[in-house]
Amino acid sequence: IPVDPFDLVIFGGTGDLARRKILPGLFRRFIAGQMPANARIIGAARSDMDSAGFRAMVAEAIAEFGGMESPPQAKLDAFLKQIHYVAIDARGEAGWAELQELMKGTDKIEAYYFSVAPALFGDLAERLQQWGMADKQARIVVEKPFGRDLETAQALNATLATYFDERQIYRIDHYLGKETVQNLMAVRFGNMLFEPLWNAQYVDHIQITVAETVGVGGRGEYYDKSGAMRDMVQNHLMQLLCLIAMEPPARFDPNAVRDEKLKVIRALDPVLPHHIIRGQYDADHDDAEGHPNYRDAVGDPRSKTESFIALKTQISNWRWSGTPFYLRTGKRMSARSSEITVVFKETPHSIFAEDAGQHRNVLSIRLQPNEGITLGVTIKEPGPGGMRLIDVPLDMTFSEALGEDAEQVDAYERLIMDVIRGNQTLFMRGDEVEAAWAWTDPIIQGWEARGDVPKFYDSGSDGTTEAFEMMRRDGREWRKVA
């Protein structure tokens, strides 16, 4: 179903994110028939080029990152006709009159995607208003990072609020655009089966792991000022934690959902220093490709920035008091994998022999790769061997459960279509972002005050030995990263 006619201006349209995700994603929506014929995509960036040059760049980006064997030429040509470019300076006057002219007098939905360095977010908002493009129907899409602490996030929220209402601001966290994230809500709130068990009485603990195999790559300078806590935990892992732990909202409505998420963040206990482990990747000594260790990669032999975090936290409310939440994320780990795992308690009493092989139920929600949800269930091992028990997965992996043609939509394209539809459910509200920083700030300040130095872990491993010890002390184990 096509969305309503729109004009989408992508500030930073020539940048890395636009070329890898936004533009190829829009092309896939075009092929799916979702983009109306009179919709326009307008690249706006500092690079000096014209619309023809930008179209050539878009075609290249689609060929490289579109994930299609060979994009159908006729479709590609038709898509490119809807693309335009304005060379613009977010901080100066160049290009604004031209953009204003392009956007004048349309009654389409207007969306402005800020895919530029965060230092320019405020300038763009201000310029849009000066040039008469910040009317009450306009929407702005804001990339991460949203501040680097509570103070900067509040300042950014205040700047954006000068020019736009909260209902016009779409703060992107692409983790929320994953199919499985929405399916998590469907599974929790669309079935009778799970919600009665979804609490401290039946859940032993919950783990959230976001593991990457890549290192800091070319982003070393940026990353070293940020670290895993700011870059991953404060936003992506916190958002996943909220969705898994929140109370059922009264309606599936953007503010009802976000109200419940906010309550989770506000109920989080402060993290004790011995419940948070920081790591920094060392080189992998068997690595034939010779990837550098973290400090070489960022060019600072004394860097104290973490590329790995493992932490334990609690949610102090009736539902969760007593159930620990373990969060873990890192670079250069053994596999690329994002997974939420709900580990249920043992049955109160086992009627089977001690060595029969009874397992706990484990519900695992995978965001990547192989998005899907699996529930481990204990059954009898088939055959004449007596009452032997095995754990079998009830598999809700989408490609298997729904067939090969189950539509795979990338997070960015889904979220952009939500912007056009005016649905903010999967976007972070300003107060959520601030509450997440209010929880994160004291942790980071504590490290700074103590001069804390992260421990090393081998590239290709799953983090520091201290992270494993923290789990072992609690009589639990991290799930294998795979």
For position 16 contacting ligand NAD by CB under 6 A, the verdict is yes
Cβ neighbours of 358 (radius 10 Å): 16
The distance of closest approach from Cβ of residue 116 to ligand NAD in the complex, given in angstroms and rounded to an integer, is: 4
C-beta neighbour count of 431 within 10 angstroms:
16
Q: 144 or 205, CB closer to ligand NAD? A: 144
Binding of residue 144 to ligand NAD (CB under 6 A):
yes
Cα dihedral value 237, 239, 240, 245, nearest 10: 120
Cα-flanking dihedrals φ and ψ of residue 26, to 5°? Answer: -65, -35
Q: Tell me: does residue 368 bind ligand NAD (CB under 6 A).
A: no
CB of 111 to ligand NAD, least distance (A): 16
* Piece in contact with ligand NAD (CB under 6 A), picked from 13-21, 328-336, 372-380, 415-423: 13-21
97: contact with ligand NAD by CB under 6 A? no
- The one catalytic residue in 236, 275, 285, 349 is 236
Q: How far is the CB of 146 from ligand NAD (least distance, A)?
A: 9
**SS3 at position 283:** coil
Partnered with residue 409 across adjacent β-strands are none
Does 227 count as an annotated binding residue? no
365: nearest Cα among 223, 190, 241: 241
The answer to the question of residue 143 lying near ligand NAD (CB under 6 A) is: yes
84 has catalytic annotation: no
Closest distance of CB 347 from ligand NAD, Å: 44
The residues, any chain, with a CB within 8 Å of residue 60's CB and separated by 6 or more, are: 19
Minimum CB separation of residue 144 from ligand NAD in Å reads 5
- Residue 177 near ligand NAD by CB under 6 A: no
Which residue's Cβ has the minimum distance to ligand NAD?
A: 15
214 contacts ligand NAD (rule: CB under 6 A): no
- DSSP conformation letters of 342-404: EEEPPPSS--S-TTS-----EEEEEEESS-EEEEEEEEEPSSSS-S-EEEEEEE--HHHHS-T
Which of 82, 115, 209, 464 forms a contact with ligand NAD (CB under 6 A)?
Answer: 115
DSSP state of 246: P
- Based on CB atoms, which residue is closest to ligand NAD, 14 or 305? 14
Residues that bind ligand NAD (rule: CB under 6 A) add up to a total of 23
Which residues have CB under 8 Å from 50's CB, separation 6+?
85
DSSP string of 95-140, one letter each residue? THHHHHHHHTT--SEEEEEE-S-GGGHHHHHHHHHHTT---TT-EE
Of 37, 27, 33, 34, nearest to 68 (Cα)?
Answer: 27
Measured between alpha carbons, how far apart are the two ends of the chain, in Å?
36
- Closest CB 225 distance from ligand NAD, rounded Å: 12
User: What residues contact residue 226 under an 8 Å CB cut-off, 6+ apart?
Assistant: 145, 148, 305
Only segment of 29-37, 142-150, 159-167, 311-319 that touches ligand NAD (CB under 6 A): 142-150
CA dihedral (253, 436, 329, 409) positive or negative? positive
In the window 28-47, what residues touch ligand NAD (CB under 6 A)? 45-47
81 is in an annotated binding site: no
Asked whether residue 15 is marked as a ligand-binding residue, the answer is yes
Residues 44 to 73: which contact ligand NAD by CB under 6 A?
Answer: 45-47
The CA radius of gyration of the chain, in Å to the nearest whole number, is: 24
Q: Which residues are marked as active site?
A: 236
Binding site feature residues for NADP(+): 12-19, 46, 144
Binding site feature residues for substrate: 174, 178, 212, 231, 331
In the complex, the residues that contact ligand NAD under the rule CB under 6 A are 11-18, 45-47, 88-91, 115-118, 120, 143-145
Binding site feature residues: 12-19, 46, 144, 174, 178, 212, 231, 331
